[in-house]
Amino acid sequence: MGSDSDLPVVKDAAKILTMFDVPYEVRIVSAHRTPEFMFSYASSAWDRGIQVIIAGAGGAAHLPGMVASLTPLPVIGVPVRASTLDGVDSVLSIVQMPGGVPVATVAVYNATNAGLLAVRMLGVVDADLVAKNEPVSRRHAERCLVKSR
C-alpha cells in the first residue's frame, strides 16, 4: 500500500488471504515517497517467492502501475478514495496503463475482491485453493438468491 492510511482498505484483502491460508506480507511502499524501496521491493518479489501483488493506492495511485513495470508477477490494483474526486482519480490512474504494463483493477475500496482475485490466480496451479473457493462463491450466490425472494 502507498501509505498507512490505506491499511483499513487493504486489510480486507489480508482477511481473504488468511481465510484461504495463503501466506502474505503487508508493506508500506510509496511510489512517490520511497521510490528506491519500491523499485527494490517490486524487482525482487519474484526471487522472494511472491506470486501475486495486491497494491492499494489513492490519489495519483501510481503504485500499482509502477510495481507492474518492475515485476513479471500479476499485480492487482485497489483504488482508494482520496480526499477529492471520490476515488475516480485512483481508478483512472490504475486502469489507464500503457500497453505492456498490465494491472488488474478492482472497484474502489474493494480489497475483498482483490483478495479473491489473487486466490483465483493462485488457484490456476493449486487445486486446493479452487476447492476452498467453491463454497465461498456458493455462499455469495445463495445470499443473492435469498434477497431476491
Q: What is the mean pLDDT of residues 1-27?
A: 91
Evaluate if residue 125 carries a pLDDT over 90: yes
Rounded to 10 deg, the angle between the 127-147 and 111-123 helix axes is 140
Question: pLDDT tens, 39-56?
Answer: 999 999 999 999 999 999
pLDDT, mean over the chain: 93
How much is the pLDDT for 87? 86
**Which residue range is the domain that position 98 belongs to?**
4-147
Question: Of 59-73, 104-118, 130-144, where does mean pLDDT reach its minimum?
Answer: 130-144
Does residue 144 or residue 70 have the better pLDDT? 70
The CATH number of whichever domain residue 24 belongs to comes to 3.40.50.1970
Place of cell 474502489: 108
Evaluate if residue 100 carries a pLDDT over 90: yes
Evaluate if residue 141 carries a pLDDT over 80: yes
Q: What is the mean pLDDT of residues 15-19?
A: 97
Evaluate if residue 83 carries a pLDDT over 80: no
Rounded CA Rg of the chain: 16
Number of domains within the chain: 1
